[in-house]
């Protein structure tokens, strides 16, 4: 993909230019982790001089890319960006230094970067250099685009998206445990694209035993390069999965991490490590020494630089995540099937809510078609503790 610096007129409003920055930033969705999605425009009046977006972690930041394309024309211009410019050295130099050196007159940003290395310091440095800075344009939309980055730095855990394929009566497997295939071919292809867009894919031991998934990204999944290999995470308090599981034998996938409790057999731990997996011991849930604490797993993943997790099941893991108030978004592929039966596997297991008032509530529902299925995309309302 090549940048083609725009030479066109655009509405002379900060909001219009910032929306264009978001559109630019979105072109790299799924490729920049652990960095945020950022687009930048250099303009003079109604004229766009140059534009760029951050393509991948370690690559040129959007602001520097746009300034390079603008060249000397950047002097006296306005630079637009959907996130506060960085002011620290990482894998690339600070963007603030490039903005000052280019002679930019004004900078417009949507919101501060919550990364503690920035968090207002970039804006302050620009103002000290005599550059006018405007903050706050389309803040809500910009923060939603980078919700993974924002949550990672404010709640110190990855963004959690639960994905499930279920029947119209809310079942993810029949009473014999079979689930292939509830969803349509189109839904399964979309699920692989979702895997590719996340840092980690997480399942429970029951899903591994029942479905024996590889948890890899199917080659050819569009929107990401074939080199994308999400971390594969298994919640298995007692380390019970069979050693012949395909995810242990599939070397083309990302690294495998098991989360277990202190009571897991040491012999099984050593065997899994010999098979190439990493086993991490975390605290168990109160009253059940066999179940790991989900918040402890997410905290450990955050320490490893994981900013987003796709939870693919099963019902017990999904229920535990919901109960712990750790789910941010849910995507449900609803197939035109009725399974019925009291013992068929529900999308969320566990004891369930004690009353309707205690139920998990979803918001901002979006419903669309995906092959023969319905796709429901919703946010999980944060519950007060």
Which residues, in sequence order, are CB contacts of 244 under 8 Å at separation 6+?
Answer: none
Task: Tell me: cis bond preceding 31? Omega within 30 of 0 counts.
Answer: no
378 burial level (CB within 10 Å; 0-12, 13-18, 19+): middle
Active site residue 63: yes
Contact assessment for residue 192 and residue 215, using Cβ atoms and an 8 Å cutoff: no
> Given strand 132-135, what is the order of strands in its sheet?
47-53, 39-44, 78-81, 106-109, 132-135
Q: Please state, in angstroms and rounded to a whole number, the distance separating the CA atoms of residues 39 and 382.
A: 29
To 10 degrees, what angle do helices 294-303 and 315-323 make? 90
Q: Which residues contact 157 (CB under 8 A, 6 or more apart)?
A: 151, 295, 298, 299, 301, 302, 326
Catalytic residue among 51, 63, 84, 312: 63
Q: How far apart are CA 127 and CA 208, in angstroms?
A: 54
**DSSP class per residue in 80-113:** EESSPPP-S-SSS--HHHHHHHTT--EEEESS--
* Residue 58, H or E segment: none
Which residues are catalytically annotated? Answer: 63
């Amino acid at each position: 993909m090549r940048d083609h610096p725009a030479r066109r007129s655009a509405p002379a409003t900060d909001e219009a230019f910032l929306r264009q920055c978001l559109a630019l930033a979105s072109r790299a969705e799924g490729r920049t982790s652990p960095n945020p999605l950022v687009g930048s425009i250099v303009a003079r009046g109604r004229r766009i001089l140059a534009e760029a977006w951050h393509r991948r972690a370690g690559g040129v930041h959007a602001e520097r890319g746009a300034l390079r394309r603008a060249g000397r024309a950047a002097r006296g211009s306005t630079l637009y960006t959907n996130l506060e410019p960085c002011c620290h050295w990482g894998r690339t130099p600070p963007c603030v230094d490039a903005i000052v050196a280019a002679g930019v007159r004004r900078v417009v940003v949507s919101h501060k970067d919550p990364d503690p290395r920035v968090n207002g310091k970039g804006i302050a440095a620009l103002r000290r250099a005599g550059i006018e800075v405007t903050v706050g344009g389309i803040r809500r939309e910009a923060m939603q685009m980078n919700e993974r980055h924002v949550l990672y730095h404010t709640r110190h855990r990855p963004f959690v998206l639960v994905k499930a394929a279920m029947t119209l009566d809310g079942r993810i497997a029949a009473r014999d445990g079979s689930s292939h295939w509830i969803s349509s071919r189109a839904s399964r292809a979309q699920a692989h694209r979702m895997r590719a867009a996340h840092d980690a894919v997480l399942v429970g031991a029951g899903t591994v035993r029942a479905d024996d998934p590889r948890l890899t990204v199917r080659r050819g999944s569009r929107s990401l390069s074939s080199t994308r290999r999400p971390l594969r995470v298994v919640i298995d308090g007692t380390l019970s999965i069979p050693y012949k599981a395909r995810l242990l034998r599939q070397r083309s996938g990302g690294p495998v991490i098991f989360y277990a409790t202190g009571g897991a057999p040491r012999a099984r731990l050593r065997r899994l490590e010999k098979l190439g997996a990493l086993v991490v011991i975390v605290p168990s849930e109160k009253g059940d020494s066999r179940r790991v604490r989900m918040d402890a797993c997410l905290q450990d993943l955050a320490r490893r630089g994981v900013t987003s997790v796709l939870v693919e099941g099963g019902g017990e893991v999904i229920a535990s995540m919901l109960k712990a108030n750790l789910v941010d978004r849910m995507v449900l592929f609803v197939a035109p099937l009725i399974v019925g039966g009291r013992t068929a596997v529900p999308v969320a297991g566990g004891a369930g809510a004690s009353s309707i008032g205690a139920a998990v509530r979803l918001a901002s529902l979006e419903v669309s078609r995906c092959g023969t299925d319905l796709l429901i995309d919703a946010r999980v309302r944060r519950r007060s503790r």
